[in-house]
Amino acid sequence: MAATPLFYLHRLAAMNRVFNADLRLEGVAFGQPFIIGQQGLQPSVVISQPWIRAEDPVNPHPTEQEIGQFMDSLGFEPLPNSYFGWHRPTDNVIVVDARADNFIKSAEGVVPIDLVIEQRQSPL
């Protein structure tokens, strides 16, 4: 099932809140669907964020250990049986897809750039 534009807006807000990101909604565009056989125009959420310069352009991504230290510093715990998942019990935030290629290691530290994030209403 494809995610809705509302899902992406919630995800954008959560990234800004949890990771102090500066993701911005630029607009919504309508175009041909990416799913084979689907008819009609489909919405796409257009966002932007500041450019993040990698500390080492040849190896721009942090190691799994560096990602773990970063997530731990924000109160996250590994989420067993998930796809690169983390859970923060204090506010019930869930993050998945926290793979190395969804982070950049900058001179300022580890920066998440494309995580799937949500705040659940009920505990795990």
pTM score, whole prediction? 0.84
Distance CA 124, CA 122 (A): 7
Q: What is the pLDDT of residue 64?
A: 95
pLDDT surpasses 50 at 46: yes
pLDDT tens for residues 65-108? 999 999 999 999 999 999 999 999 999 999 999 999 999 999 99
| Residues near 110 by beta carbon (within 8 Å), at least 6 away in sequence | 62, 66, 67, 69, 70, 103, 104
